[in-house]
Structure 1
Amino acid sequence: MITVEGFNANDHFYLEAGETTREELTEPEASEPNSPQVLEVLQRLPVLVIALDLPRRIIVFWNQECESVTAYRSEEIVGNPGALQLLYPEPVYLARKLADLHETQSSLRNMEWTLTTRSGSKRRIAWSAIEGLKIGAASGISWWIGLDVTARSEADRRLRDRDKLLNSVFRHLPDMVYLKDGESRWLLTNPAARAVLGLTEQEAYGYTDLEIANRNHPASAGLRHSALAEEATWQSGRASHMQETADDGQGNVRSFDVVRVPTFGRRGQRLHLLVVRRDITDQRIAATKLELAGRVLEQSTDGIIITDEKNRIIMVNGAFSEITGYQAAEVLGRDPGMLASGQHGPEFFQALWKTLNEEGRWAGEIWNRRKNGEVYPQWMSLSALHQRAHGEITHYVASFSDLSSRKAAEEKIAYLSSQDLITGLPNRAQTALRSTLVLKHAQATREQVALIVIDVDNFKTLNDSLGHAAGDQLLREVGNRLSAAHNERTIVGRLSGDEFLVLVRNVQGTAEAAHMVNALTEAVGRTMTLADLPVNVSISAGIAMFPSDGEHFDALFGRADSALYAAKRNGRGTYQFANATMNEAALERLRIEAALRTAIESDTLRLEYQPLIHLPSGRIVGTEALCRWDHPERGSIPPGLFIPIAEDCGLIEALGGLVLRKAALQLRAWHDAGHPELMMSVNLSARQFQRGVVLKQVEDALAISGISPDRLELELTESVLLHDGEAVMAVLRRLKALGVKLSIDDFGTGYSSFAYLRRIKFDKIKIDQSFVRDLIDDPDNAAIVRGVISLALSLGLAVLAEGVETEEVAQRLRHLQCTYAQGYHFDRPLRPEVFAQRLQSLRPSGFTG
């Protein structure tokens, strides 16, 4: 085994050999140049030089350029049996390369090997054996010189990759592509070009179009024409683009779009001609058909809209512009929804698209809007066009005709048969028909409906004294004032003479019906001018309620009419319910409403405070503000009675603001008295959110009291989130931005949903007392409570159990890790001064945990 340590800077070449001595390797022969001088030269050459003992696979010489390229020093490589494995770490690759050396007996030139440097990078080296070079007496050693050709190799690889890519693109182009030399001989074509002419590579390459045509090729006429066009392109010196027709050899005339691009040398000699031919026969046929279709569309008297698959308008005809008033440039690229009148709800369009998608077409009457804003009826037919191959929708086509004239005639006839000519209101028959439909709907939805019959007091006297013209004017004015209160819930009609009917659906009870009559009485009672005279009139009304007074129109009308005459007997200018009990209940409700309004305006309502207990410690950590009303004559009126009345009659806005202010000011007083950690919880009504006053009221309460927002907690029921959800969410987000706390009251009794728990970061969940009260005895309630607590804890929310009345329930809640509790077990609602006394103790009275 031979070990070589290399040639150092002092020109020493060391060799340790089992059979070959140092002197044998380094002693110069008579015919050789001095070995140390040769080695010195090889050491410093700017190319890689190695000496390889091929039989033993050992490198015995490693020059400086080798060290520079590989970063391996001579001491690491020379004589190292594993050096080749360092340089060529892939065994299969190294074995194949060494086998090549053995087969060629070291006579290869420019044999490229890829070696691995110390850093792991790859270098491509072109090795050549140095024949005739022999230094020393050692046998089996060959000398090699190497050049780093990595950059060239990478460039070659990129060039090969580019050629492969170009060939692949060229081969798969659907167009016919030809590359010709300066004499128009075929050099290269793609399969599409050869297939059209039915030629093989051997039949085409090296020939011109004329030479191929002279073989009596079926497309010889087209080839000769092409040769002439190519010569014209050469002579023009620039690219040409034209459309040509040619026989395909089977008797069919085809159309082609042809581009010819010539290239010239520096001296102007012809080099190459690139020809690209595209078969546009089908496109021209389609274009012709489309042109004919366009002419037909333009001559149509129906408006036509064509949209793409995304329902964007791509074409309209002249009739479209005549009917809608929009020119084509104004609608192209837009959605046909721009024409919508707003007369149809979402369910109409959902049904339309469902039919169109399932059956491929839809036809029906639809109302749209012209450019001038006029709403008009159309008869429209819609069709969906599908791609033949895959079935995807490519276009939608709508044709429509204007039904305005026909509708106008129909509506005039319908109006004369259903409307009152004097007031323009629905007549008796039409009012009865509409009312019947409302009552059928109310029966299905279990709504209450109020049927109100109204009579103008002393109308006969006014009519006789001022004349029939003034009487008609009075009826029109009364009709207008009654109609001013019209909305989607109301039907207003004239029955006969001075008698009118107002039907109100989805009323909440007799109180709302009474409010409606009062509002109508006030509206009609305003001064009007008749025959140049100021006149004040009053009305009387009879009210019947569905379903308690009857389930059909005739029955309700009869009872309301009887109630009307009863009202007139009682002095006119008033109203009467059909049922005496209902009438008394409505009056009682109005009395309570009036007294509540006075109590709010005079600030005679008061607040009591129920302690909120931290269950683990038993400490009072907050309080819930509860409104109380002590009526001077009726005594204490429960919140369950007066708060719903406040919500129904619109007093909840003022009441809610009053409670917020009082509670905030009281909390400020307790903070100043040395209890800054105390929280205040205030209930919010859904009606406060609907009226949009919550945010302003909270801001005012914080500003007046100066308390920290995070000490105020607002409780809202789940029903709040059902009314105008996005608007409510926006208010809640702004409240959170103020820093106040939010809790959900009576959780589990309403419309529990994880959706709003994700959308708004609530701070607390209150478990309704209906679940807490039977926690011990009812397994279902216990499961609900346990589930709510687990849910809240997993969401990082606090939990408050309300209605805790026994120590056993309190202990169970502690065991379930409930955070807070309130209830009679700890304390009833307390007046402010009593609550202040409770704050002096860490545990409230009655707490024994």
Structure 2
Amino acid sequence: MEAAPLPIAVFVVDAAGNIESWNKACEKMAGYTASDIRGSRLDRIISFDESGNCKAPSLPLTGECEATGHLTSNDGRRIPVRVTIAPQALDPDKPDSFSVIVAPRPGVMPPRYALIQDLPVTDIIEGLPCVFYVIDQSGHLLLWNRQLEAVLERTSEELPTINVQNFFDEKDALRSTENILDAFEHGSSSHEAELIGKFGKRTACLFNCARTSLGNVPCVFGTGLDISARKEAELSLLLRERAISCSVNAILISCCKNKEFPIEYVNPAFEQITGYTLDEIKGRDPRFMRVEGCDEQEHERIRDALQRHESVHAIVRNARKNGEIFWNDLRIDPVVNQEGEVTHFVGVINDITEAKHYERRLQHLAHHDPLTGLANRTLLHDRLGSAIEQAVHEHTLGALAFLDLDNFKYINDTFGHDAGDEVLREIAQRLRAGVRDEDTVARVGGDEFVLVINDQPSPAHVAELVERLRHSVSAPVTAEGNAILPGVSIGVSLFPRDGERAERVMRAADAAMYHAKTMGKNNCQFYSPELNQAVHDQLLLEASLSRAIRDDDMVVGYQPKVDLRSGKIVGAEALVRWRHPDKGIIPPDRFIPVAEATGLIVPLGELVLSKVCATLKEMRSDGAPDFVISVNLSARQLRQRQFVTRLGQMLAQHQVEPGSLELEVTESQLMDQPEEAVDVLEQLKGLGVRLSIDDFGTGYSSLSYLRKFPVDFIKIDRSFLSDVSIEGNGVITRAIIGLGHSLRMKVVAEGVETREQIAFLRDYDCDQMQGYYFSPPVPRDSLRQMVSKDTRLPD
């Protein structure tokens, strides 16, 4: 049987187009022998189509081109072919010769590679676990296997037309070409490079090339073994080696030999942390850095884990080369080979010396007051709990004393915070000096100290000790060049008599301390069962008040304000009362201090404001649009963030004109922090509400600040009207009226109960009055009736 034609033919022409060489594949395709065709011109056997990037090539030939045409065979057949003409770029000895590659177009020749089928090694080449190729001197493929098509993502028709340089990245193309030239020149070569597929697929290969010839056409054949997995493994190892080298943690690798662990490798971080170089310690056991006598249990754990070939984590102290001890957070893990044997151990050392020092400092700060160095609240609870347990177990007596400095805010405001801090430090030293080492002195607040006194023979001894401490603390303190005289109120509870739990004992001492405050300050009071009942009642009152506000058990009464000239009702003051389901009406002097102390004054104040706004809306509907209702504000309300904004929203919600609402603040509230007060009052004034100073004359107003406060009214405290017949009282009242008018404020007298007071106020041109002489506080509906009937002050 006649052999199948070769799929491609390659011959060589000179620049004039004369055929110089003709191989067996050409003979099979065209039917001409080499002797028949050598010396003939290119255009004798190939006629080019009119399409393509070259028609009949212009002679002499100058560069690479591609075209389609027809090959005229020896028997006259015209075979459709694709033609590639390229300079012999890979053969520097023939610069003016050109390779002509002729491949049958699809559908004309057999679909598989006839050349491979003719060879006895066809199956071997196709079955190779690598790419196989044959390249001529022009840099084009003559022969290849399926693996190369798959790697390059190209068809068999595409591959012969592309120069092999284009199968590589730009960075690899020149080097790969040089290696192919080496094979032409020296017979063989090898190199590594990435083949780039048509759609971007990258395959790292190890190429081995060897020189040969097909017929009389020199060429190079070779294989490319896919080494992508090896490259990935090499890169992974390189990255790990680089990571180990760059790690900020010290890394040590030791060998596992007969219960010994000689060092094989340490990274630069190890050398920097320990001061030892690899050359100095290679082959030594890592235990040479341990500090004898330290962390014995941890070292025992490490030894046991290594003998069992297990991982271990420990925190130990080691010595650097210079002898300095450092804390080491150590992690050791075994390395297992393919047979499952432990061959090495990897130790990771993290120098945590600074962290340890910081931890100790934090631990101290977590249990001690930074200003005085005394125990803080956390440590106090621990010490008190232990002291109570000991007292219960050993049937001894202990005491807990709460000390609160009297008027410490005045010290800060008068002498400055630095002086206040100096006073606190000096008092802390006096308290420490006045008790035993086994006792505890703590600072639990700005000016609050607590003593835990253990193992006392009797309450009398406790009283004597505490009184001695009170005298010591009350002695003058020199700070910032000033002699400051601090006072202290002390409350004492005894344990386990007053409680067997820390919380109960502390509450008892706290109650006794507040009792000392109410007794005039600068004294000492012991807790008693009667005081316990008072504390219990106080707690019940707090809980009940919270529920009362939530359940709206608060009622608002209104005491009318009367214009002293016309006698007409022009406004009212809102006064809140607590309607208790069991105890009836509770007056404000019982629950307002509780509300202030617990913060309940804020929701209570909002409740009152909401009720007042609803009443003002009804008054306007009744035909009294100019009626003004005043509401007392607490200092806590005044300092609430967004108070002005929320008040504006409430007025808008009830459709109340801001000028119908008057807010009363006491003189002492304003002078507590006058700069802040001016700012808040300006915001309220900008909202449009009216402002008044309540209880004027009972505080310590500064006239300079009084001029800055944007208030509309001042109210004379009832104490100045108790007996206006007394010359002193009358003088003060007249002065307040004159001062208010001179500052363009209206003056309101409260607590007016007699005709004599009315006459006095009218004589000195006071603007308004309120009091029982005209009316006590009345419910909302009664106030509306009085206004609608135009009830007036009798002449």
Greater Rg, structure 1 or structure 2? 2
Relative to the length of structure 1, the TM-score reads 0.37
Relative to the length of structure 2, the TM-score reads 0.40
